[in-house]
Amino acid sequence: MSITECTECGGQVSTTAKACPHCGAKDYKDSFTFGILRRMIMYVAEHWGKYLPWPIIQIIMVLMLALYFIGFLNLPFIVGYGVLFADSYVDLPNIFLTWANWVVDIYIDIYSKVYTLIQSRL
């Protein structure tokens, strides 16, 4: 059991509690990755505001979000493609190749559907 911070009131809440004892918020927990991202953005907004104008800080925050999601969401695709590429040089177990084929096929299918959706909206 550990203690986390409530996203609504900032009070300390146990990770096993069903609601915040201070404000009653039921959805007070941050996921690990979004918590880190939120803290990074808050740090930039609080500390860099002394040195940079607000539009520049907004651009930095948008770039941080974009890089985070591009890297985070594409990591399985990058690893899967690397496994398929390495197969010609290294003898890999069949389970890795099956997983890599599956991941690459799913990502290519998702990207083609997103591309088709974007093209239909333009």
Count up the domains in the chain and report the number. Answer: 2
pLDDT tens digit string along 102-116?
Answer: 888 888 888 888 888
pTM, two decimals, is 0.40
- The pLDDT of residue 78 is 76
- In 3D, which of 102, 95, 109 has the Cα closest to residue 76? 102
Same domain, 40 and 63: yes
* pLDDT computed for residue 117 by the predictor: 86
Among the listed residues 39, 33, 34, 41, the one whose alpha carbon sits nearest the alpha carbon of residue 64: 41
Q: What is the pLDDT of residue 115?
A: 83
DSSP per position, 31-77: PHHHHHHHHHHHHHHHHGGGTS-HHHHHHHHHHHHHHHHHHHHHHHH
Q: What is the pLDDT of residue 34?
A: 65
19 plus 64 within the same structural domain: no
Residues 13, 50 within the same domain: no
Q: Are residues 58 and 96 in the same domain?
A: yes
* 94 and 77 in a common domain: yes
Residues 9, 23: one domain?
Answer: yes
The whole-number pLDDT of residue 27 equals 59
Q: Domain range holding 69?
A: 31-121
> Are residues 12 and 42 located together in one domain of the fold?
no
pLDDT of residue 52: 78
Same domain, yes or no: 58 and 102: yes
For 17-75, the pLDDT digits (tens) are: 777 778 877 655 555 556 676 777 777 777 777 777 878 877 877 887 787 777 777 77
Report, as an integer, the average pLDDT of 64-89: 76
Please tell me whether residues 68 and 105 are part of one structural domain.
yes
Residues 72 and 19 in one domain: no
Same domain, 43 and 98: yes
Q: Are residues 111 and 55 in the same domain?
A: yes
- For the stretch 2-17, pLDDT in tens is 777 777 777 888 777 7
